[in-house]
Amino acid sequence: MNQPIRLTVNGELVTAAVAPRQHLADFLRETLGLTGTHIGCEHGVCGACSVRLDGAVVRGCLVYAVQADGARVDTIEGVSDSGEIADLQAAFATRNALQCGYCTPGMLLAAQELLLVNAAPDRETIRDRLSGNYCRCTGYHAIVDAVEATARARAEAKR
Partner 1 sequence: MSEGLSPLDRPNSYIGRAVPRPNLARLLQGRGLYVSDMTLPRMVHVAFVRSPYAHARIAGIDAGAARTAPGVVAVVTGAELAEVCTPWVGVLTHMKGLKSAPQHAIAVDRACWVGEAVAAVVATTRAEAEDAAALVEVSYEELPVVADMEAALAPDAPAIHPDLGDNLAFERKLDAGDVEAAFASADAVAQAEFVFGRHTGVTLEARAMLADWNPGEQRLTVYQGTQAPHMMQNIIAKHLGLEETQVRVVCKDVGGSFGVKVHVYADEMATAALARMLRRPVKYVADRVESFLTDIHARDHRCKGRIAVNRQGDILAFEIDDLTAIGPYSMYPRTSAIEANQVVNLVGGPYKTPNYRARARVAFTNRNVMCQYRAVGHPIACSVTEGLVDLAAREIGMDPVEIRRRNLLPDDSYPAQSASGMKFEALSHHAALDKLVAMMNYPALRAEQTDLRAKGIYRGVGLASFIEVTNPSAAFYGVGGARISSQDGASVRLDAQGAVVCHASVTEQGQGTEAILAQVVASAVGATLDKVRIILGDTDHTPYGGGTWASRAAGIGGEAAWRAGVALRENILKVAGVMLQADPSALDITEGQVIDATGQARVGLDEIARVVYFRPDTLPADFQAELIATRHYAPKAYPFAFTNGVQASWLEVDIKTGFIRLLGHWVVEDCGRILNPQLVDEQIRGGVVQGLGAALFEKCEYDARAQMLNANMADYLVPMASETPDIQIGHIETPTADSMLGAKGAGEAGTAGAAAAVVNAVNDALSPFGVRLAEIPLTPELVLKALGVVL
Question: Do residues 6 and 14 lie in contact, with contact meaning Cβ atoms separated by under 8 Å?
Answer: yes
Among 18, 65, 92, 148, which residue sits at the site for partner 1 (rule: CB under 8 A)?
A: 92
Q: From CA 124, how far away is CA 130, in angstroms rounded?
A: 10
Half-sphere exposure of 50 (CA within 13 A, CB side): 24
**Which one, 10 or 159, has the nearer CB to partner 1?**
10
Q: Does 96 bind partner 1 (CB under 8 A)?
A: yes
- Using the contact rule CB under 8 A, the part of the chain among 3-11, 62-70, 73-81, 112-120 near partner 1 is 73-81
Number of residues that bind partner 1 (CB under 8 A): 54
Q: Are 62 and 85 in contact (CB under 8 A)?
A: no
Nearer to partner 1, 5 or 85 (CB): 85
Contact between 150 and partner 1 by CB under 8 A: the answer reads no
Rounded-to-integer distance, Cα 34 and Cα 28, Å: 5
Tell whether residue 64 is a contact of partner 1 (CB under 8 A).
Answer: no
Which residues are near partner 1 by CB under 8 A? 19, 21-22, 29, 34-43, 45-46, 48, 75-77, 80, 89, 92-94, 96, 98-105, 108, 123, 126-128, 130-144
